Structure formats: structure tokens, C-alpha cells
Amino acid sequence: MTPTEQLVRGVPAGDQPAVRPPLPVKMVIAGGFGVGKTTAVGSISEIEPLTTEAAITEVAAGVDDLTHTPRKTTTTVAMDFGCITIDPTLKLYLFGTPGQERFGFMWDDIVEGAVGGLVIVDTRRLDDCYAAVDYFEHRGIPFAVALNAFDGRLEHSLEDVRWALDVSEHVPLVVFDARERASVRDALLVVLESALAANGG
């Protein structure tokens, strides 16, 4: 019985166990450039998210493909950070990775200690997420693939995306909207379930 349930059911204060702070759990949100990582962290975080956004310069625009994100004016150059209390026993600390390959050297530090990852995919450009999928697969870190429904639609079905990414059946694929808090929460819970399953929980 959680402390909240005890209070609701009228358990006397003296009979309640000491309330412990929620268990901190680290999770990574990864994916290619402009897929919605910063948006997802901002949508779900209960604190003002920490972002390391920098303006996209003409030089960077020549390197990063803005075809599908023409209104994007900034990009993450280190990481995003936010947190969300799932329930009285569990608090997720979210770390968003930079999407460009040239910032890949930071990934090991960002991912260290994470229980799992959420790889966000823009189905209009699947190639951009291969590096993130490979990273989690090669390190044996549980992860789920979340297809961000830009403009409310997907370019490919879940089955086609699984085939294109060549991910095994035990890797969950979900459709979500990075702008919607509840949608992001549900995707993160899928990662938690995968991490528990992978660790025999």
C-alpha cells in the first residue's frame, strides 16, 4: 500500500511506515536530428527542463538536413534534462541526447547508468535513427522505438519500420506524439517495462 493509499483509506499516522523519497531512475531519450527529443522532454518534465540549445547557423544548416523541419531554428548541442515522478515510489530523470553524429562522443557519458532508452523516430527519414538503435543494441541496453506522429500521420506502418530498422521482436514499437504529456508518459512506461523484463523483474 502506497503512502497515498494509506492516507485515503484512513490508516492512522502512527501505523504508517516512514515515507521514503521516490527511487531515482535514469532514462535516455535518443534519436536523430529534429525528431522531437527536446519536445518530448519539455512535454513531460515536472521541472523547467534544462536544454543546451544553440542557433542553427548557415554552416550547420549545410550539414544538418532541414528538409522536413524547415521551421527548426535551434538544435541540442549537449543534452536535454528533465524529470517526472511516476508515482510515490519512482522518479524518472530524463536525459536527451544530441541528434547529430558529430556530437556522438558525448553519448557514453550521457547513457552511463541508464536503465533504458527511448529512440524517437521520424518515419519520413528512418536513416537518421539507425545510429541510436545500433548504440543501444550493441551495448545491450533495453530500449523501445517511438514513432513520432508528425502532423498526425506516419509514412510507414509499424511492421515496415521494424523490418527497416531490423530490430528484434522483443523491442517494443509504439506510436506517440512528442507534444502530448500523456503520450510521452506512456512511451516511457513501455521502456520501463522492457527494462524490468530484461532484468528478470
Q: What is the SS3 assignment for 82-108?
A: EEEEEECCEEEEEEECCCCHHHHHHHH
Dump pLDDT digits (tens) for 30-58.
998 889 999 999 999 999 988 765 554 44
Please tell me the predicted confidence (pLDDT) of residue 105. 60
Please tell me the predicted confidence (pLDDT) of residue 100. 54
Sequence-distant (6+) residues with CB within 8 A of 99 are 31, 32, 33, 34, 35, 37, 75, 76, 128
Low-confidence ranges of the chain (pLDDT < 70): 1-18, 52-78, 99-105, 201
Please tell me the predicted confidence (pLDDT) of residue 59. 39
Please tell me the predicted confidence (pLDDT) of residue 154. 81
Q: Please name the amino acid found at residue 100.
A: Q
HSE-CB at 33 with a 13 A cutoff on CA atoms is 22
Please tell me the predicted confidence (pLDDT) of residue 66. 47
Please tell me the predicted confidence (pLDDT) of residue 52. 67
Q: How far is CA 177 from CA 45, 151, 163, 180, 182, in A?
A: 15, 9, 22, 6, 9
CA–CA distance, 69 with 112 (Å, rounded to integer): 30
Specify whether the CB–CB gap between 175 and 145 falls below 8 A: no
Q: What predicted TM-score, i.e. pTM, was given to this entire model?
A: 0.77
- What 108-111 contacts at long range (C-beta under 8 Å, 24+ apart), as own/partner pairs, is 110/28, 110/79, 111/28, 111/135, 111/139, 111/141
Grid cell of 196 as nine digits: 524490468
Q: Please name the amino acid found at residue 116.
A: G
Number of helices (H), then strands (E), belonging to the chain: the values are 7, 8
